[in-house]
Amino acid sequence: MIILKTEEEIELMRAANQLVGATLAEIAKVIQPGVSTAQLDRVAEEFIRDNGAEPTFKGFPNPYGPAFTGSICTSVNDVVVHGVPREDCILREGDIISVDCGTLLNGFNGDSCYTFKVGQVSDEVQQLLTTTKEALYLGIQAASVGHRIGDISYAVQSHCEAAGYSVVREFVGHGIGRNMHEDPQVPNYGRRGNGPQIKNGLCIAIEPMIAMGAKDIYLESDKWTVRTQDHKPAAHFEHTMAIHHGKAEILSTFEEVERIEAAKFG
């Protein structure tokens, strides 16, 4: 069942998502070679709690194993999603790390993810990041009244596959609101004109998870970490948005993250 949101609820969603954007910016400030993913996790948890919210991912249940121990997912290089922050996972020059962050503030959820560069990355990896972020925004452009969810899926898939990348199939975008995961599912692959209609008040997270090589993945024995089988890198960008006055209005933000990256990398 799709739960459309009122204007008041969209404002609460915006607050939760702006806090996610601010948290990602705090992380952007400390990402550099030598930093552990556990350090990033501590920065995130403290910032989220200091702002009166809960890190939604902490304690997130897993039907196959232990609950999630981190406040953010830290997925390095060939880890596609759900990397668990660890003291012994140390970032190195040339790595990429996707940081997925969720907050619960005043009863509503924020959810957004950004793939960061650790120092200078290869041109090949930079192209993967650029294409995945472009796909996110093409998906957002397709998320307007008069379209269907499949139009978003098609926009993401066609852009990434045209660049020679693959779309990971096992994880999808989603409705979001009082729960982090609500209906509808928003796959990153699909056909135009398929799926639920996009209506005002719909709140969704679009989140392309794109592999440089093949789309095949596996789950590690910790029952969280998801890696590409060919160990080629994967990128992940996510925004939460509300359909408002016919168009997608992005509730999360990369603005501060991109300002920090521009200062770092020029």
Q: Alpha helices of 54-178 — where are they, by DSSP H?
A: 123-142, 149-162
100 scored as a contact of Mg ion (CB under 5 A): yes
Tally of CB atoms within 10 A around 156: 31
DSSP state of 83: P
Minimum distance from CB of 245 to Mg ion (Å)? 24
Q: How far is the CB of 214 from Mg ion (least distance, A)?
A: 23
Stretch that binds Mg ion, among 30-38, 105-113, 149-157, 221-229 (CB under 5 A): 105-113
Is residue 48 involved in binding Mg ion (CB under 5 A)?
no
152 binding Mg ion? (CB under 5 A): no
In one letter, which amino acid is 12? Answer: L
Nearer of residues 60 and 90 to Mg ion, judged by Cβ = 60
Burial class for 64, CB neighbours closer than 10 Å (0-12, 13-18, 19+) = exposed
Which of 113, 125, 129, 202 binds Mg ion (CB under 5 A)? It is 113
Q: How many residues bind Mg ion (CB under 5 A)?
A: 5
Nearer to Mg ion, 119 or 156 (CB): 156
- 182 counts as binding Mg ion under rule CB under 5 A: no
Q: Residue 254: helix, strand or coil by DSSP?
A: coil
Give min distance, CB of 120 to Mg ion, in A: 26
Residue 99 near Mg ion by CB under 5 A: no
Beta-carbon count within 10 A of 191 CB: 12
Contact call for residue 41 and Mg ion (CB under 5 A): no
Distance CA 149, CA 190 (A): 9
Give 79 or 113: the residue with its C-beta nearer to Mg ion. 113
CB of 93 to Mg ion, least distance (A): 26
Site string for Mg ion, 183-222 (x = CB under 5 A): ----------------------x-----------------
Q: Are 41 and 68 in contact (CB under 8 A)?
A: no
Least distance between Mg ion and beta carbon 90 (Å):
24
How far, in Å, are 13, 82, 98, 163, 183 from residue 132 at the CA level? 24, 18, 12, 10, 24
Q: CA nearest 150: which of 190, 202, 95?
A: 190
Residues in contact with Mg ion by the rule CB under 5 A: 100, 111, 113, 205, 238
